[in-house]
A and B are shown apart, each in its own frame.
Chain A
Amino acid sequence: MDFSVFLQPAFSGGGTYLDWVLSGIKWTLWVSILAWIIAFTAGSVLGVMRTTRLPLLYVPATVYVEVFRNIPLLVQMFIWYFVLPEVVPKGIGDWLKTGMPMPEFWNAVLCLGFYTASRVAEQVRSGIQSIPKGQTEAGLAMGLTRPQVYRHVLLPMGYRIVIPPLTSEFLTIFKNSSVALTIGVLELTAQARQISEYTFRTFEAFTVATVVYVLITLTVTVAMRALEKKVRVPGYIGSSAK
């Protein structure tokens, strides 16, 4: 077991193998964070749409969620990268294939973002629906309109309730970013695999990758727990008042 391999210069130039690891981490973080931004915004909107009674809103949201949830991420990744450029009008398709900068990266971000959005939508929906009906009634009884009730009563509590499952989705995005290697994004897992192929130090390469993922998980978990503490409502346990 020889961890010094990371300090050795890479076979194909461009720094040491450690640099490859760092590059992999960089891509993992970029893909995950940008995808999370898409997932959180789109997912929140979709989740709220699913809680309304208007078919115009909840039908498309439900269709979206069911489609994106029931197709494996890998298949979705391939469809974004290989199929989309072929089925859109020729001009756009060509740009996607040759003109767009870093197509693998952007496809990975969009794919992961929209996939995770469907899961975030479900969390947000269940958070809002777990709030007792009486809260909505109290808001309406005061003369608030439904959008006002969402804004002042349902969403503030709903988001607090779903911080734990949303944390889990956020962590999952970091892990799912590894699927991007199948379309050529050189994120951390891909780099670990490459290093093991060049140096035959399989154990060391994969260990480092695993340790990094564990550290990411720990960091995010600690950060989210701090967030949960900060926004906690005094005297409130679970989803019912004392």
Chain B
Amino acid sequence: MFTGFDFDVIQRALPYLGQGMLFSLGLTLLSMLGGILLGTLLALMRLSGFGVLNVPAGGYVNLLRSTPLILVIFWFYFLVPLAMKKITGDAYASGIGPFYSALIAFTMFEAAYYCEIIRAGIQSVPRGQVHAAYALGLTYGQAMLQVVLPQAFRNMVPILLTQGIILFQDTSLVYVVGLTDFMGAASKVAQRDGRLVEMYLFAALVYFLFCFSASTFVRRLQAHYSGAR
């Protein structure tokens, strides 16, 4: 079964794979950041009583949660350059490059998921806290920033991190637009050297080790939080 299994190819490819991994991690972290910021905004919009805010936000979230990530990636990858051409009137505008298209795609996609997590987190803070804040004379903004959001985020950290792990796995999908993340790098080496088995198994192993350690860490964190209560 393993005759001709070539471990060398993995070793020789390590620098290239390392670059791919940096890409994956970078994309993950930036999208997480953007996703959480945009997600918080969306969550606040959805929680506000104003139809003009919560309907578009709700529509956005439901739309992005119904659409496959690959399709969203395609949307931004193919259509951003077209939009740029229209906006700038320049027929040869090349858009903002594949990395930024992917970054926008991931941020917008994850924001929809983060919105729901954050919304649930905010709703889990007892109403009495908000009342107490208002009773002291705080404005809506102050109550949110000083009282509600800090508590909400503390409750949500494990789930936000778990979503981050899922996001890390999802970055592998940039393969469909030819970007070289970790999986893309492994795939390119596999095809160039004809070593599909070794490279793909190695990729699986690396992803497993990263994600398993990360989720174990999150589990410990969760246990720590609920113990401290």
Binding site for B on A (CB under 8 A): 66-67, 69-76, 78-79, 82-83, 86-89, 171, 174-179, 181-182, 189, 192-193, 196, 202-203, 206, 209-210, 213-214, 216-218
Contact = CB atoms under 8 A, between A and B. Distances in A.
Contacts of A82: 196-197, 200
Contact of A72 (B70, B170, B197): B170
Interface residues of B, number: 35
A74 B1 contact: no
Nearest to A187: B68
Contacts of B197: 82-83, 86-87
Contacts of A67: 208
B79 A206 contact: yes
Given A79-B204, A202-B78, A178 B211 contact: no
Given A75-B204, A87-B1, A214-B63, A196 B211 contact: no
Given A82-B196, A82-B197, A178-B71, A75 B215 contact: no
Interface stretch (B15-23, B47-55, B171-179): B171-179
B67 A74 contact: no
B69 interface: yes
A79 to B, nearest CB: 5
Nearest to A28: B68
B63 A179 contact: no
18 contacts: A67-B208, A71-B169, A72-B170, A72-B172, A74-B172, A76-B204, A82-B196, A86-B197, A174-B68, A175-B66, A175-B67, A193-B74, A202-B78, A202-B82, A206-B74, A206-B75, A217-B65, A217-B66
Nearest to B71: A189
B183 interface: yes
Contact of A178 (B68, B201, B204): B68
Interface of A is mostly: helix
B78 A214 contact: no
Could you say which of A174, A206, A218 has the most chain B C-beta atoms within 10 Å of its C-beta? A206
A73 B71 contact: no
A81 B172 CA distance: 17
Contacts of B68: 174-178, 189, 213
A181 B71 CA distance: 11
A222 to B, nearest CB: 13
Given A74-B175, A179-B70, A202 B79 contact: yes
A171 B69 CA distance: 13
Contacts of A209: 71
Could you say which of B183, B200, B211, B212 has the most chain A C-beta atoms within 10 Å of its C-beta? B200
Interface string B165-203: 000011011011000000100010000000011001101
A196 B78 CA distance: 10
Nearest to B170: A72
A206 B71 contact: yes
B153 interface: no
Could you say which of B2, B170, B208, B210 has the most chain A C-beta atoms within 10 Å of its C-beta? B208
A188 to B, nearest CB: 8
Contacts of B82: 202-203
Contacts of A178: 68-71
Contact of B208 (A70, A74, A78, A214): A70
B213 to A, nearest CB: 9
A74 B82 CA distance: 28
B203 A75 contact: yes
Closest 10 CB pairs of A and B: A70-B211, A217-B66, A178-B68, A72-B169, A175-B68, A72-B172, A178-B70, A74-B172, A82-B196, A214-B66
